Amino acid sequence: ETGVTQSPTHLIKTRGQQVTLRCSSQSGHNTVSWYQQALGQGPQFIFQYYREEENGRGNFPPRFSGLQFPNYSSELNVNALELDDSALYLCASSREAGGLGEQYFGPGTRLTVT
Amino acid sequence: KQEVTQIPAALSVPEGENLVLNCSFTDSAIYNLQWFRQDPGKGLTSLLLIQSSQREQTSGRLNASLDKSSGRSTLYIAASQPGDSATYLCAVASRGFGNEKLTFGTGTRLTIIP
């Protein structure tokens, strides 16, 4: 079975711009979660999608939004980029309902906002 | 609110030694606890998952224990090797309707000295 993939690998954007990050879940997984990891910190939960519906959200503003598609792939959209949005963005997929089973992470997308 | 702490933040040991990494969490109402490894600039690799009803899990040279009542977990690495050098993160899956998520610690950066 294929693992979790993310695209692009690296991205440089200017403050105020919008960005879309993509994630393909591991085969057979119906839940995807997105995390933001600032340098030297642990990942912070952004939100989770289960069967195309948002299933929980962390302390992130509404300019962070997401989608999950019928094939369980997912997008993270960030509007009005700020310098503090520079981070490694990780997605994780899970087979268990609600995402409570083992989480499998992708390699991440490194976003730099200048 | 769940908080996860990892001590020490960094650890250097000679090759061949056994070592213990510590993780503590504030809310014992958890579904599971997962240990991850992260190489610099990379995504997370799952090492071990312990369900809340379990006391320990083993995989090769790794052994993770869970004491839910005291809010603690340890990751034991036997016969350390230079390839074990990485940041080790623990994450707790907490109960919370509509907000199931992993809460991460900030990690322990491990260096194995050849």
Dmax over Cα atoms in chain A, in whole Å? Answer: 39
Give how far Cα A21 sits from Cα of A49, A53, A64, A78, Å: 15, 18, 11, 9
Q: Can you tell me the distance from the alpha carbon of A36 to that of B101, in angstroms, rounded to the nearest whole number?
A: 13
* pLDDT value of residue A34: 95
Please give the pLDDT value at position B41. Answer: 84
Q: What is the dihedral of CA B24, B28, B31, B33, to 10 degrees?
A: 10
A25 has a pLDDT exceeding 80: yes
Nearest to B44 among A44, A58, A105 (CB): A105
Can you give the pLDDT at residue A8?
97
B11 and chain A: CB distance < 8 Å anywhere? no
| pLDDT at residue number A99 | 52
> Count of A–B CB contacts within 8 Å?
68
Q: What is the mean pLDDT of residues B1-17?
A: 94
Q: Is residue B59 scored above 80 in pLDDT?
A: yes
> What is the rounded CA–CA span in Å between residue B39 and residue B54?
28
Q: Which of A21, A102, A111, A112 to mutate to test the interface with B (most CBs of B within 10 A)?
A: A102
**Mean pLDDT of all residues in B57-78:** 96
Q: What is the pLDDT of residues B96-110, one digit of tens each?
A: 644 557 899 999 999
Residue A81 φ/ψ, nearest 5 degrees: -55, 140
Mean pLDDT lowest for which of A63-77, A86-100, B22-36? A86-100
Range with top average pLDDT, A11-15, A96-100, A103-107: A11-15
User: Does the CB of B25 have a partner CB in chain A at under 8 Å?
Assistant: no
Residue B101 pLDDT: 78
Alpha helices in A10-65 (DSSP H): none
Q: Is omega for the bond preceding A70 within 30 degrees of 0, making it cis?
A: no
What count of other Cβ atoms lies within 10 Å of the Cβ of residue B102?
30
Higher pLDDT residue, A27 or B68? B68
pLDDT at position A51 over 80: yes
What is the overall mean pLDDT for chain A? 91
Mean pLDDT value across chain B: 92
Chain A stretch 8-47, residues whose beta carbon is closer than 8 A to a beta carbon of chain B: 33, 35, 40-45
B41 versus B20: the higher-pLDDT residue is: B20
State the Cα–Cα distance between residues A70 and A63, nearest whole angstrom. Answer: 23
A99 contacts in chain B (CB < 8 Å): 93, 100-101
d(C-alpha A9, C-alpha A110), whole Å: 6
Burial (CB < 10 A; 0-12, 13-18, 19+), residue B108, is buried
- Residue A58, both tokens: 């962390």
